[in-house]
Amino acid sequence: MNFSTESLSLRNLMQKLFDEEKEGTSWVTKFEHNFSRKFKSNYSIAVNSGTSGLHAALLAAGVGKNDEVIQPSITVIMDAYVTLHVGAKPVFVDVDRKTWNIDPKEIEKNITSKTKAIITVSLYGLPTNITEIMKIAKKHNLTVIDDSAETFLSSIDGELYSNQTDITVYSFERSKHMTSGSEGGMVTTNNEHFAERVRKFAGIGYRGLKASAGRTSLSSEIYQNPDYERFDEIGFNYRMNCITAAMGNAQLEVLNDLVKLRQEIGKEFLNAVRNCNWMTPQFIPDNVSHTFFTFAVKYEGFSVHKLSWKEFYQEYKRRGGDGFYACWKNPYMEPSLRKKTYGTQIWDKGLCPIAEDLQSKIMAFKTNYKQINLAKQKIKILSEMIDEIGR
Ligand SMILES: Cc1ncc(COP(=O)(O)O)c(C=O)c1O
């Protein structure tokens, strides 16, 4: 058989990882342990994606049929999908006009006797107003799940923005601050009950699973016995594999640098759009650190200079800029949620006017450059273009 050098070295690396696993603590357990230390959480459970982590988190919180889950109207669709998969109803609420994150006042307005949980999302790396949201949740006895896929190591009042909610879910998908290859996720919590439920659900409901990693040690005579009952919960296989965990571990070691680089790039972008009255970035409250998963602006060049979103995009690319992203459609406007599958209702346009207006105007510029100089070259193109059009 003929192997290329790349595939041979990859095979050797994999063999080394497997051998190390056999000899000692598993890579997944090491990764969970190190993640807990870094993010100051009592429990971390590694999963195979952010989406599966969100699904497990909702189940751990006891969300089920006919419950309602409040969530923002600017976010990825996966927050709604997992809600529907547990039989609950997503309740989309509008966002704050300045930060674009879920608006605590809108949360409060939408609480009903069926509300069971709130999903918060730190959009593009800007932490939500979590202090206010936790006060509301406490008053109404709701579980808060923070979808932290887009923010790693951000802070509020100098304190790490993590574990301030009941359950936090991270994604290591390839575009995120840290990745574990191309897919992966982590669920963190300080609550033993939630941790055990997440681990069990994500681990096919094995009865021996507990909040912390590892299984209850049993003598082989017990588990090799035909009478042995292995499963006491219905779960899925959302487990992370050892190669993914080894890569995640390596990224965790350099996470500070990865976040710092995106923050430096974010600052360069902020300078480029300063005093431009038709490109408005997310408002960053003084006590908060933004981690710039992307750098996003609200583009109003059409009303000011009659230059449409698409025309700006084409011109920026023509000059050598990187193609930026638009905002995802508001989840309830996506075709997949406009069918009566899962017994969902059809939501009308106009449900969340601030979010819908923003959705059509957002430009999300890439911040995941490997070197600051390359980012600066691209940002210079943006800055010059803004100067030519007029700020
Ligand atoms: C805010 C947000 N939540 C959830 C996810 C889902 O994570 P994953 O792709 O790991 O399932 C993503 C990104 O992919 C995201 O950006």
CA distance 312 to 319: 11
Does residue 202 sit in the same domain as residue 285?
Answer: no
CA distance 80 to 366: 25
What predicted TM-score, i.e. pTM, was given to this entire model?
0.95
Q: By three-state DSSP, how is residue 220 classified?
A: helix
Does residue 36 sit in the same domain as residue 158?
Answer: yes
pLDDT for the residue numbered 97: 97
Nearest CA to ligand 1 atom 15: 149
Does residue 250 sit in the same domain as residue 264?
Answer: no
Does residue 83 sit in the same domain as residue 179?
Answer: yes
* All residues at 6 or more sequence positions from 348 whose CB lies less than 8 Å from its CB, including other chains: none
Say how many Å lie between the CA of residue 50 and the centre of ligand 1. 5
Nearest CA to ligand 1 atom 3: 149
Does residue 357 sit in the same domain as residue 383?
Answer: yes
Does residue 147 sit in the same domain as residue 107?
Answer: yes
Last residue of a domain, one of 219, 254, 289: 254
Ligand 1 pocket, residue 148 CB under 6 Å: no
pLDDT for the residue numbered 24: 66
In order of 11, 184, 201, the CA distances from 170 in angstroms are 29, 9, 17
Tell me which residue range forms the domain holding 131: 5-254
Ligand 1 pocket, residue 21 CB under 6 Å: no
pLDDT for the residue numbered 343: 65
Does residue 183 sit in the same domain as residue 302?
Answer: no
- Substitution site in 47, 52, 77, 78 for ligand 1 pocket (most atoms within 8 Å of beta carbon): 78
Ligand 1 pocket, residue 75 CB under 6 Å: yes
Does residue 124 sit in the same domain as residue 245?
Answer: yes
* All residues at 6 or more sequence positions from 253 whose CB lies less than 8 Å from its CB, including other chains: none
pLDDT for the residue numbered 359: 98
Last residue of a domain, one of 222, 254, 286: 254
Regions of the chain with pLDDT less than 70: 1-3, 5, 8, 22-24, 214-217, 342-343
Last residue of a domain, one of 194, 225, 254: 254
Ligand 1 pocket, residue 50 CB under 6 Å: yes
Say how many Å lie between the CA of residue 49 and the centre of ligand 1. 8
Ligand 1 pocket, residue 168 CB under 6 Å: no
* All residues at 6 or more sequence positions from 72 whose CB lies less than 8 Å from its CB, including other chains: 79, 92, 93, 95, 101, 102, 119, 120, 121, 123, 355
Q: By three-state DSSP, how is residue 228 classified?
A: coil
CA distance 386 to 370: 25
Alpha-carbon dihedral 48, 52, 54, 55, rounded to 10 degrees: -150
Total structural domains within the chain? 2
In order of 52, 110, 217, 306, the CA distances from 343 in angstroms are 21, 20, 43, 43
Does residue 30 sit in the same domain as residue 54?
Answer: yes
Ligand 1 atom nearest to CA at 52:
11
CA distance 89 to 192: 26
Q: How does DSSP assign 254-290, residue by residue?
A: THHHHHHHHHHHHHHHHHHHTT-TTEEEPP--TTB--
CATH number for the domain harbouring residue 368: 3.90.1150.10
CATH number for the domain harbouring residue 35: 3.40.640.10
**Is the distance from CB of 145 to CB of 62 less than 8 angstroms?**
no
Does residue 167 sit in the same domain as residue 275?
Answer: no
Ligand 1 pocket, residue 209 CB under 6 Å: no
pLDDT tens digit sequence for 97-136: 999 999 999 999 999 999 999 999 999 999 999 999 999 9
Task: Using the CB atoms, write b or e for 249-261: b if 16+ within 10 Å.
Answer: bebbeebeebbeb
Determine the length of the chain. 391
Does residue 203 sit in the same domain as residue 311?
Answer: no
Ligand 1 pocket, residue 171 CB under 6 Å: yes
Does residue 333 sit in the same domain as residue 274?
Answer: yes
Q: Residue 169: enclosing H or E segment and its boundaries?
A: strand 167-171
